[in-house]
Structures are given as C-alpha cells and as structure tokens.
A and B are shown apart, each in its own frame.
Chain A
C-alpha cells in the first residue's frame, strides 16, 4: 500500500509543481484564469497567430502582444466571493 501511496503522491506532487494544473476542488473561476493565461501565453508564442489578431483588430502587432500581456492580469475580472464558491 505504501508503495502505491508513494507512487501516486509522487506523481501528484510532481503535477502540483506546475502552475495551471488542476485538482478535484478547483473552481470554475480558477480554472478559467489558467485557461486564459495559457491562451495568451500561447498566442504570444505563436507569431503567426499574433499577426492574424493584428489584422483582425486593426492594431499593430506590438500592441496586440501588449494587450495579451496586460490581460494576463486578472483575465476574468475580480475573483468571486468565497462563500459563493462553485
């Protein structure tokens, strides 16, 4: 038992080291934040996506990138109150 215990806790420990991994009690808000941040990070990493967005928004690429970076701070607005919790 202890072996399995160890093995699983090891895996989970490993997973928990990464920001953005989830767990059974994660709220919709927390998960959504991770999704947004990951998405923006991904957009910034793919320059072709950035150019596409730039054309679509009629903004310079640098501005689009800047917007992405800015939006990473509180991408989904203020966190919901605790007791509401979902």
Chain B
C-alpha cells in the first residue's frame, strides 16, 4: 500500500483543508444542527449567535469529545447533540485504512456511534455514485424539513403579539427516540441542498451561483472544486500561476457543465494550450475532479476526453504525473460500469503511449508486490492495457522476470494475473505470442503458494479461451501439471484447474478431446453438487466445452452426464441469477445438440408447468433453443401435446415480466412444429380472444403480441378464417388507450395483413386505413413505429383499396413523423412516401415534399430530401427532376440546398440510370459549384461524386470533365466538410475519367512555389497514386536529365 496509501493520505488531507478553509455558501442548510460534525464552512453570521469562533475552529480531528457540549447553546434541541459521544480511540483507524479496502457505502446510513465512520472516508467517496448522492440529497432534505423546530423558527412562524411563551411543565419528560439521521453529512461538510426560496442567498454570503456572464451554472457539489471562480479578484493582482489556475478552472467548468458549443471551445483551447498551461496545474485540478464522488457518467466521460487530448499534447511532459494519473484511473478499470472501464483503459493506453514503457514499468513496478489485493488487481489490469497499447512483445521480458520473482509470491501472482488480463483484453491477438506467454506462466503451476497456482490455472484458462480454436501445441507442457493438479486440489483451486482443462479440451483434436473428457468427467460430475456458486458456473462451462468438443460420443453424454446434470442443475435456484441462468440454458442446448431432442425434452417438458415463473421461463427458453437447433422431427405425438399444453400454461400464467423470452420461444416452437400445430390453434385463438378483453393492460398486450408471432403458423395451417376473426377483434380494439397495448395491437394487425394479403383481409383495407390515419398522430414511439409500418405495408401492397385523397391525407401526417427520434420510424415514413407516390403518382406527393423543404428544422429537411430521392427512384427520375430543378430557382438557401441534397441521394440511388440525366442537370450543378455559399458547393460536389461513380464507363466523359473544371477550384477550401466533399468528388471523377486526365490537372501544381498549393496537390496526387498506381506510369512527365542523374525512361518510346 506504499504508493497508494500515502498518496491517498495526501489527497484526503487536501480535501479536508479545503473543506475547512472554504467559507462557502451552500454548505449546510441546517444551521440548527450545530455539532462538531458540522465543523464546516458554515457561515456563522447567520442566525447563530452562540456559535463562537472557538467552536468553529474546533476541527473534528482534535477530538475532545466534550467540546461540543462545552458550548452552551439554546439550540440544544438539535438532535445532533443527542448523538452519543463517539469514542475517540478508534478514530485513528480511518487513516490507517487503505481507502479502497473499506466497503461501507455511504448509502448504508452509517449509524451514529460507529466510530470512525462519521465522515465519509475517501474510500466511501470513491464508492458513492451519483444516484446514491441524489438519494442522499433527498433524504437530507427530508431530514431538514422534519427537524425539530427551534424557538427561532417558531418566532418566525408565529406572530409575536398575542402569544406567550409558556414554561415547559416540570412533569413533562420528552420522549427521546433515537433518531438516526439518514446519513452523515456530505464531504466537505456541504449538504447537497438546492437553495430554498425562503432563505435568502445572502445568508450564505453568496451573490450568485453563476460565476460569470458566459459561464455555466455551478452545481452545489461543484463548489469544492470551482469555488475559486466565485471570488472576485483583480486580474492584475494575480500572479501568473494564479491566472493559469483560474483559467484552467474556467475551462474545466465549461467543459464539465457547459453547453455543447461552450464545451467544444473550451476543449479546443485546453488542447491547444496544454503545453503552455503546464502539466502540473492541469492535473492538479483534473485529477481531484475525476475522483469526485458526485461525478456523473457524462461528466466523467468529458473529463476523460480532456485527459485524452492533453495527453497527446503533453507527450513526455506527463512523465512526472504518471503515478498520480494512474492512481486516479486504475480504479476505473474495475468499475462495474462498462463504459467507465473502457474509458479507464483508453486513458491508460494513451498514457502508456505518451510516457513510454520504461516510465510505466518504473511507476507500476512497486505496486506489483503490494500486499493489498486490490492494488495488485488494478495494477495487473493496468499492465494488461499497457501491453495492448505498446504490444505484447515489449512487455514479455518484464513479465518473465516478474513471474519468476523470488522475492515474494505476490509479485508472481500479479505477473501471472497480468498474463491472464492480457488474454482477456486482447483475445485472439495473443496468438503470435501464445507459446511465450504459456512458458512465462507455466512454472506457476508448481509454485508453493496455492494462490499462485490457482491464478496460473486461471491464466491458462484465459489464454486457451482467447486462442480457441488454435494453439493446442503451446499448451502441451502444461497439460501434465494441470492433470496432476486436478487430483491434488479442492475448492477454489480445483475450480480453476477444471476451468483451465475445460478450455483446453476444445482445442484438442477429437481423439485426445474424447480421452481427456472421459477422464475429467468423473471429477466434474462429482462437483455438480458443489454448493459453491463459482464452482457451479465453472462446471457448467466445462460441461458445455466438453460436450461441444468433437470426438465425444453422444452415448457417453447420455449415460454419464445427462442424469446427474439434470438432477443437480435444473432446480429453481438456478433461475434466480442471470449468469447462472444463461450458462445453464446454453449448456443444455449444447447437450441437446449432442444427444438429440428426445432425451433432453423428456426431462425438460415436465418442468414447464413448474410453479416458479423464472424457472418456467428458463425451461421454455432451453426447450426453444434445442428445438431451434434440431427441429421438431423427433418429437412424438405425446410429447408434442405435453409441450403445447405447457407452453399455453406458461403463456397464460405469465405475469412477472416484460421480457419477450416466452413469446419468442413460443414462436420458435410453433414455427418448428409447422402444420402439426393445427389441432392447437383453435385453443390458442380462443385464449387470445379472451385475453384481448382482459382488464389488465399487460395481458392484452401479450395477447396481441402472440397474434403477431403465431400469424405465420396460422396461415401455414390454413386457418385464414380464424385470422380474419382475430383481425376483426383487433380492429375493434383500435381505440385502446394504453399506448404499449395499442402498439402491440397494430403490430398484430400488421402480422395478419402480411400473411393473408390485402384482398382477403378482414376488416377490409378501405375500412382499416381511415382508422389508422388518426393514430399516426399518436406520439408514442411504439405506436408510431407499428402504425407507420402497417400503413407502409398497405401502401406497398394494397394501395388500390384506398382512394387517393386518403393517401394524400396520410402524406401530410407522414411529414410529422420525419421528426421522430427513432430512426426506424423515419425510415419507415420515408419508404412509405415512395409507396404512396407509386400508388397515386408522384406529382402530388412531390409538391408536398418540396413545400416541406422550406421548414426550418434540419432533420426534417434532410428526411424530406431522402424522401424526394426515393420518390424519384420509385417513379423514375424524369417524373421528379423537372419539378425539383424548378424548385432550385427559389431564392432561398434551405430550399436550394435541399434540392441539391435530394439530387445527391437521387443519383446515389439511380446509379447508372443517371447517364440519361447528366446533361440535364449540368447547368444547375455549374451554378451551384460557382455559388458563394459553401454548402452549395459542398452538396454539389457530393452530387458530382455520386453521378460520376454512377456513370463510370457510360461515355459521359465530356460532361464530367466539364464538371471537374468547376469542382477543381475548390481544392483549396479549408472547411472540413467542404474539402472532404471536394476530395470525394475528385476521387469519384478519378474513377469515371481515369487517372490520366486527373494527372494533367495535378501536374500543374506539384512543384508550385507556394507550399500551401503543393500540399493540396500532392495530397490529390497521392489519391491518384494509391488508386491507380499502375495506370500512372505512361503519364508521368518526361524529366530532363541532370549532369549527375539519368531521369530518362525510354522503354515506352520503343517503336517497331
């Protein structure tokens, strides 16, 4: 704990100082709760005359338990004073703790009296997450509201005239219930309390909470870090250091809390000036922020981004701070949140690249044999990240040395763990180094320390898992020791050894795999009944691996494994935990694949009617999985009856959850059974129609969902009349209020329409569609999505059933859907435009769409342009282009750009059909490419690109060269999107025109006197070169010879 501990101590004390100096504002709303725990920056001027300075000074650390009671106070009613006095002896322990070691969380309402826990330690802080923090906020707010009223409060509330303060009767003994405050005050003494209106801000000495005119708001919990910004200071008086510090603080605040543009600017500034601002001041502020317990995911992400950027810039300047950065970042590697881990990895990998391997090793080396398990764990993970950033080979010598370390077993343990983590992190990328890695860890199997042995086995398991299905030869040397280990060990290490062997077996060739499986199976089966959760998971995994390996005979599985497997794993308890559940289902499916459906289903089907719902779900999922893999051919009549019976039971009894597993499984099983379902369909339809009428929304929703799933099978079984009937019922329920249910009902209708077709649909389409039009207005996403898909389907297949007027009405409704957040809705809406245009002719639809180009909202316009292009694609371009080009004459930027954009999509969609239209649109493009507006030129370039790629080889070179002449002057644009579009246009033209013509353009500027020109031209040259290296050889210029050099390339001049 050498490094980490001391560092932490420093951090903590800083934090403490800060809290004490900080005279800041919002700290605590409970003035009445004056006690030593408050020690805080409370503004004593407010309402508490008796809190003498001497009291305030008393830091909680000097620990005279009597101190608070020494201040005689009228406010002794505060329940804080009732808290039993803490014994000071144990107080110290907090400092000796490794911060991370302690596991108490803040939320756990630290009971008063538990010594040493009154203020959250840094460890606790580290474990606080924003949700917890908010919860705290609420609880403390409630605490404040429920506090005992003081005399002062009463004075404020009640008028002074006509009231008299009575003496407390002598007989009155207050009932003192021990009120346990919901939590300890928050770090730094500030309570996360938003300003209450009834107490003026001045009471806290705060003028504003917004540090400046163009600054983002400060959240109360930010005060600790950004409080400095609130102090009015004269820039001239400050030293350079202070100015820098303030600047950084401003930037960080903008990045953390600001609006996106603000953030962008600040981020850019901090990146560009990272070296000027200096590594130390930067990290001094960023790192504590990153450690803040109240940091939200988004804010953490932003700060990580800052570090990322400045790391690149600072490069070797970060070296002195590697230790500090690592200390903050390493804990991220074992965070529960996936994204936190990824970001941690990203920073460490960038850090490794910036600081270099020697620094990284030197910094992390001491932690390798740290006696704290946690430190070693994070260090191992950090090393694995370094290995993935700098390449495994560079780390191999170091790993070798560590794994053979004689000094302590901890070092060996960590070394082996690094190898394991490398395997986990890098997957199959370890293959080239597999042999070395195995060699590095292998003597760990003979280690005297049991933990090292276990870790070695786990590392080998990870290596084998990562390298599957290759690399068995690298494991030859460890097979024997692993084998011996199986016999010697028990408990956790046995689990590790089993895991290793379980992962190696799939790599073996069939004969060996079979042999080894047979030998270890006895051990594995014995462990079936192990009570250890971890062992259970490993055993399941091993069974899965072994069973799926080639060379294991089904008979062996059938006789040896099946019986004990079902007996010990198919129990209700397994369904409770997600990972067990998944593993069990996978393993069962794997066994099913090996031994066939019947033996597995024989055991599973009777379990379907179990009373525990999670268990039923697990059984059904496994059943469906097996049937999905193997089909239903070997299910006999009796089993089929049982299965259907069980399925319907499970469906009707489903109450708990929203997970679609049961519905999916029913769908899979019914589809597999195919026409064999026919006898059961009547029953299913009956159940559905009854349940559609149920009082509970969930039940109705499930019923509607089921229709969607079984529609295909019903059609297969020739039950059209039943579906028609169901369709009518659904039609009646279109007035449903619950959007979730309505969405499902629409989905069910869609399912029915899809399989029985537009003509046979009941209710007839002409009745159905008018009912759908108003539903399109519904704002719920599920409803929108299902509705638009249903409408789209009708427009596609059965547009003739509905008058054109109705379609136009729908068109208008659709425009609104282009605003939808979900992409699938927008896409469905756009496609529907295409179908409708196809049905009623493009002109009306087009007019609507072109009008929509005038709207302000960008997303809406973009979707409209796509829709126009799709209409053009479905109804041939000549029906659309004239109107579109006419629209370009509207002198309005948005419209013109919209037109260009639709043309870009249009030419992309129509591809080589574009050759017929290229001459028609050339004048328009000429105009656009010469426009002053950048976006015009950019979009026109995109059009040219798509056009050029579409007409490649179609004899349109004349028009394309003409357009190239207009594109070319734009090569010097600097705006990123524009230059990108221009380069793409040039590349498109390169394909269509060939590199030789392009080369003639490029040659003009390759040796231009201006570097800026040369840069651009060489970039284009490189594009040509990479695309058409060979074709360039005949067009290279003829270079005159020098006295020294012969530049002549004569071969191509040969003439016979």
Give residues 20-70 of A contacting B (CB, 8 Å): 20-24, 26, 28-29, 32, 35-36, 38-39, 42-43, 45, 49, 52-53, 55-57
The residue of chain B having its C-beta at the shortest distance from the C-beta of A68 within the complex is: B1051
- Render B1013-1056 as a binary contact track against A, CB cut-off 8 A, 1 for contact: 01100110111011001101100100100101111010110111
Q: Is B324 an interface residue (CB 8 A)?
A: no
Cα A49 to Cα B1054 in complex, Å, equals: 10
- Name the residue on B nearest A20 (C-beta): B1025
**Most chain A beta-carbon neighbours within 10 Å: one of B1025, B1042, B1051:** B1051
Residues of B within 8 A of A4 (CB): 976
State whether B1044 touches A77 (Cβ < 8 A). yes
CA distance A78 to B1044 in the complex (A): 7
Q: Are A77 and B268 in contact (CB under 8 A)?
A: no
Question: Which of A15, A32, A38 is in CB contact (< 8 Å) with B1029?
Answer: A38
Contact indicator A36/B1054 (Cβ below 8 Å): no
Q: In whole angstroms, what is the CA distance A43 to B1030 when docked?
A: 9
> Please, which residues of chain A bring their CB within 8 A of the CB of B78?
none
| Contact, CB under 8 Å: B1056 / A56 | yes
Asked if A42 and B1054 make an inter-chain contact with CB atoms under 8 angstroms apart, the answer reads no
Please give the distance in Å from A42's CB to the nearest CB on chain B: 5
Q: Contacts A21-B1025, A32-B1039, A56-B1054: A77 and B1049 contacting too (C-beta < 8 A)? A: no
CA distance A53 to B1053 in the complex (A): 10
The answer to whether A22 touches B1039 (Cβ under 8 A) is no
In the complex, the answer to whether A80 meets B1018 with C-beta atoms within 8 Å is no
A36: B residues at CB distance < 8 A? 1049
A-B contact count (CB 8 A): 84
Number of contacting residues on B, CB 8 A? 35
B268–A1 contact, CB under 8 A? yes
**Residues B1056 and A2 in contact, CB atoms below 8 Å apart:** no
**Nearest CB of A to B1038, in Å:** 10
Q: Are B1025 and A39 in contact (CB under 8 A)?
A: no
Given contacts A2-B309, A56-B1054, contact A80 B1045 (CB under 8 A): yes
B4 CB to closest chain A CB (Å) equals 34
Say whether, besides A21-B1022, A22-B1018, A53 and B1033 are in contact (CB < 8 Å): no
Give the shortest distance, in Å, between B976 (CB) and chain A (any CB): 3
**Alpha-carbon distance A38/B901, docked complex (angstroms):** 40
Given A3-B976, A24-B1011, check contact A42 B1046 (CB 8 Å). no
Q: How far is the CA of A56 from the CA of B56 in the complex (A)?
A: 103
Whether A2 and B271, one on each chain, are in contact in the complex, defined by CB atoms closer than 8 angstroms, is yes
Question: CA separation between A38 and B1051, bound complex, in Å?
Answer: 13
Does A73 touch B at the CB level, under 8 Å?
no
User: Which residue of A has the minimal Cβ distance to B272?
Assistant: A1
Bitwise interface map of B from 981 to 1009 toward A, beta carbon under 8 Å scored 1, else 0: 00000000000000000000000001100
Known: A26-B1018, A32-B1045, A78-B1044. A21 touches B1030 (CB 8 A): no
State A7–B981 Cα separation when bound (angstroms).
Answer: 13
User: Do B1045 and A38 touch across chains, with their CB atoms under 8 A apart?
Assistant: no
Find A18's partner among B980, B1026, B1044, B1054 (CB 8 Å cutoff).
Answer: B1026
Instruction: Encode contact with A along B102-143: 1 for CB under 8 Å, 0 otherwise.
Output: 000000000000000000000000000000000000000000
Residues of A with Cβ closer than 8 Å to B? 1-4, 7-8, 11-12, 15, 18, 20-24, 26, 28-29, 32, 35-36, 38-39, 42-43, 45, 49, 52-53, 55-57, 76-78, 80
- Interface pairs A-B: 9 shortest CB-CB: A4-B976, A24-B1014, A56-B1054, A15-B1022, A21-B1022, A77-B1045, A39-B1033, A42-B1033, A76-B1045
A-B contact pairs, 21 of them (CB 8 A): A2-B271, A4-B976, A15-B1019, A15-B1022, A15-B1026, A18-B1022, A18-B1025, A18-B1026, A20-B1025, A21-B1021, A22-B1006, A28-B1039, A35-B1033, A35-B1039, A38-B1029, A38-B1032, A42-B1033, A53-B1054, A56-B1055, A57-B1054, A78-B1045
